[in-house]
Amino acid sequence: MKKLMICLMAMMGTLALSAQKVYDFKVTDDAGKEVSLSQYKGKVLLIVNTATRCGFTPQYKELEELYQKYQAEGLEILDFPCNQFGQQAPGTIQEIKQFCTANFGIQFPQFDKIEVNGADEHPLYTYLKSQKPFGGFDLNDNLGKLLDDMLRKRDANYDKNADIKWNFTKFLVSRDGRVVKRYEPTDKMPDIDIDVQLELNPTLATRKR
């Protein structure tokens, strides 16, 4: 009976998560103000956990280029610095913002630092991971192979859970709040660009069929 109750509770929790949308969450912006993500209804979102001292930090430049290319069509990039991976996002959010502005001219919204895994993970990330779990690195990519080797040495079964694996993991969210895709940091920006185009202009997908 106890096992049945635990199973039912787990199922209810899963159903509750699946019934939610990104708009149900509140976050803290870079000025310490609480913000409801409902203000982004109708936008295509790319949600990313970032770091300023990571080998992938130059992706800030690619993200800003993507933002400038599609903001007018309805794209918003939501940046959540996270210090959980090699402590590569040190400093305050103000220091991080200053670094990003000076080095990459970032214009997209940056939010306060959060945790994306573990007991103190932000509920937004609990939800995102429930919708799109880890799908694996491209092992034909040198960086993908490097990350896989590094993480597997720490945990042979690291790929069996939905945790965020490293900095610059991204989630693509449709205009109606559905999490449609997850990208690992080794995924290429041109591929993300194509997916963003298709979410912004669904008729393009129809034409390609």
How do residues 79-102 score in pLDDT, each as one tens digit?
999 999 999 999 999 999 999 999
pLDDT value at 209 more than 50: no
- Fold observed for domain 28-208: Glutaredoxin (3.40.30)
Which one of 7, 54, 82, 100 is the catalytic residue? 54
Task: Tell me if 204 sits within 8 A of 58, measured CB to CB.
Answer: no
Is 100 noted as a catalytic residue in this protein? no
pTM equals: 0.88
Across the range 50-69, mean pLDDT stands at 97
